[in-house]
A and B are shown apart, each in its own frame.
Chain A
Amino acid sequence: MPDGRHEPEQAIAGTGMGGTMDLGVDEAEALEKRPGGGGGPGPEGKPRSLWSDAWRDLRRNPVFIVFALVILFLVFISLWPSAITSGSPLTCDLSRAQEGSRSGHPFGFDGQGCDVYTRTVYGARTSVAVGVLATLGVAVLGSVLGALAGFFGGVGDSVLSRITDVFFAIPVVLGGLVLLSVITSNTVWPVIGFIVLLGWPQLSRIARGSVITAKQNDYVQAARALGASNSRLLLRHIAPNAVAPVIVVATIALGTYIALEATLSYLGVGLKPPSVSWGIDISAASPYIRNAPHALLWPSGALAITVLAFIMLGDAVRDALDPKLR
C-alpha cells in the first residue's frame, strides 16, 4: 500500500466516462441519411450496455480468465479448506520438524513439525477474509465520503481533502506497528479496522474525482433541469458513471491489503499464533531458510500469486471498462 497508493489514481484518470466516445459513428451516420432518419443503429439484437460490453471483452481476455480462476479457487478453499486437505493446521509433530516433501505431505513440514500444505491452504482463509472485508469497509466508507464531497463541494469537501492529506502522511507499516502493538485481541478484526482506517482516503479521493468528472456531464444538467432531486442525480446519473474507477482501484487495493496483512503478521503485530496466516508462517520459516526452504517457499508463493491475481484482475477490469486506455 505505501508505494502503490498514488499510482492507480493516475492510471485511471478519466475512466468515469468509460468508452462512450468509442462508437461506430460512421456506420450509424450513414444509416441516418436514410429517409426519416429511422435507420437502426448497429446490428439488430440485444441492446448493449457498457457493462455488458465490458463483460464481453473480459470473457475474451485470457489474463482475466486465468486470474479470475485463481481467485475463485482461493475463495473456494477459504470457505471449504477441508475439501482439499484432511489435516488440521494446528496438529504438529515436532519430531518431523523441517522434513521435506513426502507422500501425504507434498510441501513437507515446517520448523514446528506442522504440515506446510495444510497451513498454506488454511492461510488463504485469513488472507481472503482480511482482503475482502477490509476492501468492503474501505470502499463503502471511502466512496460515500468521497462522492458526497465531490458532489456537494464547499467546506465539507475542503475539510475532507485536508483530512485525507493527513492520512496520506502516515507511514503505513510504522502506523501499524504503533497502533496494533497495543491490541491484544487475536482476531482478524483489529487488522481489518486498521486497514480501513488508513485505506479509505485513497478510495475517497478516487470517488471524489470520479464524481466531479461525472457531475460535469450535460446529462446531469439535463436531469437537474427536469427537476431531479440531488439523491436522484447522485444515484441514477452520477454513481453509475463514476463507479468504474472505484471498482478498479478497490480490486487492486484488495491485493495490496492482503500483502499488508502478511507484513503486519510477519512483524508480529497482525495476527499472532495460534492463528494461521501466511505472514506468520513466513516469519516462522525465515530462521530455517537454509535447512527448510520449502517451509518459506510455499506460503510466500501463495501470497505472491494471490496479490498478483487481484492486481491483474483490477487491470483487466480497467481495460475492459475504458477501451480508450488500450
Chain B
Amino acid sequence: MSDNLTLPAQQGSTGASTETLLKVEGLTKHFPIYGGFPIKRKVGAVQAVDNVDLTVGVGESVGLVGESGCGKSTTGRLITRLLEPTGGRIEYAGQDITHAKRKQLAPVRSEIQMIFQDPYSSLNPRQTVGTIIKSPMEVNGIDPAGGREKRVRELLELVGLNPEHYNRFPHEFSGGQRQRIGVARALALNPKLIVADEPVSALDVSIQAQVVNLLQKVQDELGIAFLFIAHDLAVVRHFSQRVAVMYLGKVVEVGDRDSIYNRPRHPYTHALLSAVPEVAMDDETENRERIRLYGDVPSPIMPPSGCRFRTRCWKAQDKCATDEPPLVQISGNRDGHLTACHFPEDPTTESRGEDVVLDPALKALEESAGKD
C-alpha cells in the first residue's frame, strides 16, 4: 500500500500546482426519451449533463456539489465510464477514455473506482464480505503478496472493520459498516482516483462524520484523488481542496475551497452556502446572509434559456434569458476561481440587511402561516 504513496496535493489557492490526473472537457450526457405509437422514436432528451469542464489533480480532492437532480451522479458515472458520454472528452492520465470499450479500459479500471450512495444497494446480498472485496482482484487477475485472503483482511482492518467478519453477509452489517465495506472494495485495487457519489448522505448523521473521517484518512495516507459528490456544501467543507458547484447539468462556479466558502460570486453558491447550518468557517463572521431557495430545480428536459438558474435567481435580468453566461474568471477572483454569471454577487457571505426570499407567493404563505 505504501509503495504508491503520493504526496497529497498542496492546499493551494492556485489549484494548478499539481499534475492533472483527470481532465474532463465539454462532457455532455443527454438521455433520450422515447415515445409515440406504434413505433417508438426519440421525442426529446434529458439534458442531465451539459458541457461540463472539470479537472482533478493527482492526490487532489475535489467536491462536486449541487441540489439533487442536477446531474452529479451522471457526471460521476460518466467519469467511471458506467455511462457512455453523448459528447465531450474524458482524459485520464493523459489517455483519452471517452469512448473506450471494456477491454481497452482494463488498465484504467483499477485506477478509477467508485463509492456509491446507497449502502444497501451497493453490496450484493448473496455474497460474503470477503467475496465482495476479493472480486476486484479476481476480475483483474491481481494476486497480492500473501494472497487475496490476506489482502481482504488488511482492507477490512484499514476501513475499521473486524477482519474476522470476512465471511459474513452484508445484511448483518449496519449502513455505516456497509459503506466501509464499499470503501474497502474501492481500495482493493490501489486506485488513484475515487469517485464518491454522496457516500454519506444515506447514513445517520452521527455516522456520517465517521465515514467522512475514514475517507479523509484514506485520502491523506494513500494519496488517492477524490471526486466527492454531495448535495450540500456542509459535507465537503473539510474534505475538498477545490469545489465545483453544479446546477441543472452545468458547472456554475468552481474554485479553491476558500474562494467558494468565503468569496463566492455565483448567486446559486450564495444560496447553497446560506443553507449550510451553522457554517463556522475559521474566519467566520457572526452575521451571515440568509437566502432561501424555494421550488425545485427545473426539468432538465426543457432547461431555461440563457442562464439555467434564472428562474430562481434574484438578480436575473433580460440578458440572463438570452445569453448563456460563460464560466470565466471574474475580476477580483483568484486564479482558478471561475464563475458563470452575468451579474455576480459581491465576494462575501455577510448578511445583507434583509433576507432574500425567492418565491413571493411562498413567502406570503409562510408569513400568513406564521401569524396563525
| Chain A residues engaging chain B, CB cutoff 8 angstroms | 17, 19-23, 25, 28-29, 31-33, 36-42, 47-51, 217-219, 221-229, 232, 236-237, 240-241
Contacts of A218 in B (CB 8 A): 116-118, 121-122
Interface residues of B in 64-113 (CB under 8 A from A): 77, 80-82, 102, 105-106, 109-110, 112-113
- Contact present for B175 and A50 (CB under 8 Å): no
| Chain B residues engaging chain A, CB cutoff 8 angstroms | 77, 80-82, 102, 105-106, 109-110, 112-114, 116-118, 120-128, 132, 135-136, 139-140, 160-162, 165, 167-177, 180, 182, 185, 189, 204, 206-207, 210
A79 to chain B, nearest CB (A): 33
- Contact present for B172 and A226 (CB under 8 Å): no
Cα-based distance from A28 to B117 in the complex (angstroms): 19
- Contact present for A50 and B126 (CB under 8 Å): yes
Cα-based distance from A309 to B125 in the complex (angstroms): 30
Complex partner residue of B126 from A23, A33, A225, A240, CB under 8 angstroms: A240
- Contact present for B176 and A29 (CB under 8 Å): yes
- Contact present for B174 and A41 (CB under 8 Å): yes
New A-B pairs, 11, CB < 8 Å, besides A41-B174, A227-B139: A37-B176, A40-B165, A47-B169, A49-B169, A218-B117, A223-B139, A224-B82, A226-B139, A227-B109, A228-B135, A241-B124
List the 5 shortest-distance A-B pairs measured between CB atoms, nearest first: A28-B174, A218-B122, A227-B109, A240-B126, A41-B172
A326 to chain B, nearest CB (A): 17
Q: Given the known A-B contacts A25-B174, A42-B172, are A225 and B114 also in contact in the complex, defined by CB atoms under 8 Å? A: yes
* Complex: chain A residue closest to B125, CB-CB: A20
- Contact present for B125 and A17 (CB under 8 Å): yes
Contacts of A38 in B (CB 8 A): 160-162
* Complex: chain A residue closest to B118, CB-CB: A218
Contacts of A228 in B (CB 8 A): 135, 139
Max chain B C-beta neighbours (<10 A), residue from A33, A221, A224, A225: A225
Q: Given the known A-B contacts A38-B162, A47-B168, A50-B171, are A21 and B120 also in contact in the complex, defined by CB atoms under 8 Å? A: yes
B79 to chain A, nearest CB (A): 10
- Contact present for A47 and B128 (CB under 8 Å): yes
Complex partner residue of A222 from B116, B189, B204, CB under 8 angstroms: B116
* Complex: chain B residue closest to A219, CB-CB: B124
* Complex: chain A residue closest to B166, CB-CB: A47
B115 to chain A, nearest CB (A): 9
Complex partner residue of B207 from A29, A48, A241, CB under 8 angstroms: A29
Cα-based distance from A41 to B165 in the complex (angstroms): 9
Contacts of A37 in B (CB 8 A): 160-161, 176-177, 180, 210
B53 to chain A, nearest CB (A): 23
Cα-based distance from A25 to B81 in the complex (angstroms): 33
A50 to chain B, nearest CB (A): 6
- Contact present for B174 and A223 (CB under 8 Å): no
Q: What are 5 residue pairs bridging A and B, where the CB atoms are less than 8 Å apart in the complex?
A: A20-B170, A23-B171, A28-B174, A50-B171, A225-B81
